[in-house]
Amino acid sequence: MKGAGAAGVGLVAGSIGGATAPTAVAAPSPLSPSRYARGDAGIPASSVDVGRMFPNLPPFAEASDTVRAALLEVGQQGGILDAQDDLAAGPKNLIVDPSVNGNSTSTNPYGTNPDNPTMTAGSTFVGQFTDHDITFDQISQLGVPQNPLISSNTRTPALDLDSVFGGGPGMRPDLYVDNADGSVGPKLKIGNGGVHEDVPRVPNGDGTYTALLGDPRNDENLIIAGLQCAHILFYNRVLDELENVDLRRFPSARGADPANLYVQFRIAREITLWHYEWLLVNEHLPQIASQQMVNDVLGRGNRFYLPPAGDAFMSIEFGAAAYRFGHSMVRPSYRANFTSGTGDRTNPTTDPFFALVFDKNEPHFSDPVSYDRDDLLGGYRAPRRYVGWPTFFDLGDGEVKNNKKVDTTISSVLFTLPMPAIAPHTQNSPTVLPQRNLLRQLTRGLPSGQAIARAMRAPRRSATDRAEIASVYSPFAASTPLWYYILAEAEAVTDSLNLGPVGGRIVTETLIGLLRADPTSYLSVYPRFQPFLGTDLQLGSNLNPNITGNRSYTRAHFLYYAGVVQPGTCR
């Protein structure tokens, strides 16, 4: 646990603008169900809307100016959540220098922003990529209460990679390669930044480019753009090699004409999805929520996320709070690749590209000749902007790095988001990510962490675990914003290695529940499915034994089949 520092703060009444905070949070009535169908069950009238897992629990606090100010103070730059990383030390030192990388020291056994030994650096971006597959709120204003059951989610509530496929060539023909006769084919477009793959882009005529994506957020940073490319390349290779695949297990192939291009799209998409889904259940969820939690939900079923069959919805407890835990795992900087655009080599130390995730000192637009910048903000196509994956996933070559622990410490780069990383409809809201997360708790009328723990009959954390937030605003000790509660719970229960019982169950039940509600997912059709593409990858002998999750088939195998990693070669 972050421990000594948190406990030593004490439970004191905070003040906002000099005014003494009230001693208790009022329990406002739940949002009225009168405007939506089936509202008593927390289920929206349409699957394009979001719903609730706990519809009868009241919001954690009233949406008053006092509460908004308290949330902004909790999440402010330099505040209790800020790791206060020494960004001036530079991106490389923030990884390799023990004096500034946030790990434990003789005087601080926990550290200021410690690495998580059980996950790789890529786990963070898998979470972001998955989130972009199932949630996208393009309407809500931060800090303004809004009934979630009449709020649109512009992603489908299914793990169907609509962020990659865009609904298919009939809905998004601009994402697909044309056939020789000018008709739309089944193959997805892929770009090239001059050395390695890039998301497809079209020039705007002023030196800038617009990415062609099923979800524009998948060009937010270099790493997630790399994952987008990998899924495109994986699918395209499946399409090329369909005749070599045993298709008997796949419903899309049954009774279908394999010469039909749309049939080929459906089959290749299904094979890609089953590999993607299997990795979520067997690698990603065990890492972030524990194998025990995954086994419980798989074996005993869902208890709280219970959508009607074939009528899944996105739970607001997941989208606005629980799955945002991943922001605590973001490193301030990464080794993006090993060669900085100079070509593939065998030596991983020759010319690496180290960069901050976001650098507030970088201009929004760099010159149109190089079209580059020194951080990892997306949207730039310079030759060095590609991913060297051995840093992010374990290939057994000793190069993998960890992400940060799941705790109430957020890397400092996330307190100064560049404007392109912010949803356009909220650019007048704070640019500090923790503040944005906390305001969402008001926007969505989310219950407190304690209320959900009681509903789950999960252990509730002691006041000591929330002493830091109580030092800002004392009522938050008894009625804690759900996002903060989930981070504090992980500190107290799992030593910040993964989510605790409340956060872990919300996340696991939602993701597995979405798969169960989808009649075409591998869990619904053939739960014994085992991934088979990329299994010929020969991993090195230096695998990190602390990384959790299934190790027989990993994200590294997926990337190998996609053609973006090659053992023994650094790029």
Contact 207, 371 (CB under 8 A): yes
Report the interhelical angle of 555-562 vs 222-240 (nearest 10°): 60
More confident residue, 159 or 210: 159
Which of 138 and 294 is assigned the larger pLDDT?
294
What is the per-residue pLDDT for 33? Answer: 28
Is 149's pLDDT higher than 90?
A: no
Pairing mode of beta strands 15-16, 402-404: unpaired
CA distance 435 to 71: 7
Q: Which two tokens stand for residue 219?
A: 């060009």
Phi-psi group of 194: left, alpha or beta (phi > 0 → left; psi -120 to 50 → alpha; rest → beta):
left
End-to-end CA distance of the chain: 37
Name the residue with higher pLDDT: 262 or 14. Answer: 262
Among candidate residues 120, 52, 195, 255, the one with its CA nearest the CA of residue 555? 120
**Distance, CA of 353 to CA of 335 (rounded, Å):** 6
Q: Do 223 and 122 form a contact (C-beta atoms < 8 A)?
A: yes
- Model confidence pLDDT, tens digit, residues 522-567: 999 999 999 999 999 999 999 999 999 999 999 999 999 999 999 9
Q: Tokens standing for 221?
A: 């940073």
Q: Are 52 and 148 in contact (CB under 8 A)?
A: yes
Q: Would you say residue 571 has pLDDT above 90?
A: yes
Q: What is the mean pLDDT of residues 95-105?
A: 97
pLDDT band at 465; cut points 50, 70, 90: confident
For residue 528, the model assigns a pLDDT of 97
Instruction: Find the mean pLDDT for residues 324-340.
Output: 98
The 10 Å CB-count burial string (b at 16+, else e) for 455-466 is: bbebebbeebbb
In this structure, which amino acid lies at residue 20? T
Q: How does pLDDT run across 467-510, given as a tens digit for each residue? A: 899 999 999 999 999 999 999 999 999 999 999 999 999 999 99
Question: Torsion-angle region of residue 140: left (phi > 0), alpha (psi -120 to 50) or beta?
Answer: beta
CB atoms within 10 A of CB 8: 10
- Checking if the pLDDT of 154 tops 60, the result is no
Q: Show the DSSP H helices in 166-260 as ranges.
A: 222-240
Cα torsion 502, 507, 513, 518 to 10°: value is 170
Is pLDDT of 464 > 70? no
Q: What is the largest CA-CA distance in the chain?
A: 73
Mean pLDDT of 54-71: 97
Long-range pairs for 90-97 at CB < 8 Å and ≥24 separation?
90/333, 90/354, 91/332, 91/333, 91/334, 91/354, 91/355, 91/356, 92/333, 92/335, 92/352, 92/354, 94/331, 94/332, 94/333, 94/356, 95/331, 95/333, 95/334, 95/335, 95/354, 95/401
Enumerate the β-bridge partners of residue 236.
none
Domains contained in the chain, CATH given: 1-571 (1.10.640)
| Res 358: pLDDT | 96
Number of other CB atoms surrounding residue 361 within 10 Å: 9
Tokens 């730039």, residue? 380
Residues near 288 by beta carbon (within 8 Å), at least 6 away in sequence: 119, 123, 127, 325, 326, 406, 498, 499, 504, 507
Mean of the pLDDT values across residues 254-278?
Answer: 97
Q: Give the whole-angstrom CA distance, residue 120 versus residue 234.
A: 21
Asked if pLDDT for residue 9 goes beyond 70, the answer is no
pLDDT of res. 361 = 85
pLDDT digits (tens, 9 = 90+) for 34-55: 222 334 457 665 555 688 999 9
Q: Name the residue with tokens 């923030």.
A: 94
State both tokens at 286: 């065990």
Distance between CA atoms of 422 and 567, rounded to whole angstroms? 36
**Of 562 and 363, the one with more pLDDT:** 562
Residue 363 has pLDDT above 90, yes or no: no
Cα–Cα distance measured from residue 469 to residue 11, given in angstroms and rounded to the nearest whole number: 9
| Amino acid 17: pLDDT | 32
Give yes or no for a contact between 417 and 375, defined as CB atoms under 8 angstroms apart.
Answer: no
pTM metric for this prediction: 0.89
The residue-averaged pLDDT of 252-271 equals 96
What's the whole-number mean pLDDT along residues 190-206?
89
Average pLDDT estimate for 110-118: 98
* Mean pLDDT of the region 315-332: 97
Residue 232 contacts by C-beta under 8 Å, 6 or more apart in sequence? 164, 188, 189, 190, 199
Beta bridge pairs of residue 178? 184
What are 279-289's pLDDT values in tens digits?
A: 999 999 999 99
At 373-385, the pLDDT tens digits run 999 999 888 999 9
Q: What is the mean pLDDT of residues 383-398?
A: 97
What pLDDT was estimated at residue 48?
A: 55
Local confidence band at 148 (pLDDT 50, 70, 90 cut-offs): low
Give the three-state DSSP class for 354. Answer: strand
Is residue 222 classed as helix, strand or coil in its secondary structure? Answer: helix
Across the chain, mean pLDDT equals: 88
